[in-house]
Each structure stands twice: as C-alpha cells, then as structure tokens.
Amino acid sequence: MSTFDRKDVYTRVTERIISDLEQGVRTWMKPWHAEHAAGRITRPLRHNGTPYRGVNILLLWGEAMAKGYTAPIWMTFKQALELDAHVRKGEQGSLVVYANNITKTETNAKGEDTEREIPFMKGYTVFNVEQVEGLPAHYYAQPENPLPLSERIENADRFMTATGAIIYHGGNSAFYAPSRDIVQIPPFEAFRDKESYYATALHELTHWTKHEKRLDRDFGRQKFGDAGYAREELVAELGAAFLCADLGITPEIREDHAVYLGHWLTVLKEDKRAIFSAAAHAQRAADFLNSLQPQQHKKSAAA
C-alpha cells in the first residue's frame, strides 16, 4: 500500500482538479451513462458497498473519467487478495485519502498531563474492479432492470419537497435569498432539459443549507467574485453533484457555470486545502438534506 505525506496529498489532489478546470473539465460532472449492478449513476463504492465520501468522490470520479472505467467499485491490492482475486500485472492504482485525528498526551508547565487532538491525513492506493481478475461474479454484473429515468426524476421531486425549503418558480435566474430564506428557480419549461432543472435546483438547495439555523456556513463573502463567494459556489456545485449521484440524475452544466471557473481556479491555486474543505462542506450539506427525507428514501440514497 502506497502512502504519501500530508502535504503531498493536498498538492496532488489540488493539482489534479486545477488541471481539469484549466481544460474546462469539471471532474464532478461526468455523465454516467454506463450501466452496472451497483447503479447507473452512483458515488464510488468501496469493495463492501459502502459509498466513498467527500474529496474521495471527486478523486475516483476523475480517475474513472480519465481511464474509462464504468464500474463504480474500488478496492485495495490486499482486499483483492482477500477475495481470492488479483490486480492484473502492470495496472496503475488510484489515490484516495484517509483523514483522522490522533490523541497525543503532553505534559504542561505544571507537570499535568493533557491530551491534544492532532489531525492527520494519508493517501493510499485503490484499484477499480475492472483492473482486478478473479472477483466473485457480482462485482462485474450488469443490472437486469434499471429504474426508468422518469421515476428517478419523480424521486427528485419528492426529495426536494421533503426538505421543507420554500421554493418559488419564476423569473429568469436561479438563486438562494438568505434574507428571505427562499430558493428561486425559473419555471421548469424554461430549462433545456429536466436534468438541467434538477441540477440547478439541487445547487440552490445546497446554498439553502448554509443558513444560520441549519449548517451556519459562512466564508465571509463581501461581494460577487471574491474568495468567499467562490468558495460557497464551489460547495454548492459539489453538493449538487453529490445529490445528483444519490438521486440517479446525470447532472447538466448550467450555462452560467463558465463564469465560476476563473473564481474557483484562483481559490484553488491560493489554497491547496480549499478543495478538501469544499468537498467536506458539500458532503455535510448533502447529508443534511438527506437527513430531512423519509426513512425509506434515506436508505435508498445511501445504497
């Protein structure tokens, strides 16, 4: 298992995202048209079916897009061996990260022992199941009866309603108004397709989670285009992508998103940890919106 020092993990991940953005490619906007038993459009999954979270979603979506993998399942070299399988010779693995805290006991000036939490991050290597031979058949299986797209979109309507957010339709722009605590979206028929409508709505609902009575998220935005603005827009962009994956929707690129690329690049180039922070905030926003769903829906979203 490969490990990387903490600085190198931040640098490698950020440089990958920056490289994609500079080419006009958003790692998190892969149109997942491929079918697989684990789902038509899905977050990347660990070998045991547990979804990856936060920045690891972006890393593995990017790897799948770059290398053409359609299977969403990943595992370490050791996990493959434990399943009596093996990684094909010559295959290159993909970086994912693990973050946690360690507790260190220190003695202060008074001779008293105190405990301090020290955050750490390490990188390790995983392989897509398409790089692994000899796995049980279900790792390679194709779905028999995928859920019709129409039902998936209906599911998105139920998801949006269950949040309890006040959503108004009208006008020609989409936004969240903190002062009124409302989401405004153009009429459904104003969008070029239904995927664009839902991706936009989920983007604004992610903004809705920042209110002080919800997640109380504030990056200190003062004006359009500043660093605080760019960070919040990146959180909303990633949150919408995560939620689209949960709901089985292929996210579409909003026409105004090109405006944000330069702002995001500026923030990422100035702060190597910004994408990690944005992904973590987006994950919390997605978790919050999922927590507002009926119990049965929450189970299906986590599957």
Tokens 């269950």 appear where? 162
**Does position 299 have pLDDT exceeding 50, yes or no?**
no
Chain segment 250-282, per-residue pLDDT in tens: 876 666 666 678 889 999 999 999 999 999 999
Query: Considering the entire predicted model, what is its pTM?
Result: 0.83
What are the pLDDT digits (tens) for 111-138?
Answer: 788 788 887 788 999 999 999 999 999 8
Cα–Cα dist 42/261, whole Å: 25
d(CA 284, CA 226): 23
Give the domain ranges of the chain. 1-144, 147-303
Q: What does the DSSP 8-state code read for residue 97?
A: E
Alpha helices in the chain (DSSP H): 6-22, 55-67, 77-82, 149-162, 194-208, 227-247, 258-270, 274-291, 295-302
Q: How many residues does the chain have?
A: 303
Give the other-Cβ count within 10 Å of 232's Cβ.
Answer: 21
pLDDT tens-digit map of 79-118: 999 999 999 999 999 999 998 888 888 887 777 887 888 8
CB 22 within 8 Å of CB 265: yes
Q: What is the mean pLDDT of residues 197-226?
A: 92
C-alpha 66/C-alpha 62 separation (Å) is 6
In this structure, which long-range contacts are made by residues 223-230, counting pairs with CB atoms below 8 Å and at least 24 apart in sequence?
A: 225/263, 227/266, 227/267, 227/270, 229/263, 230/260, 230/263, 230/264, 230/266, 230/267
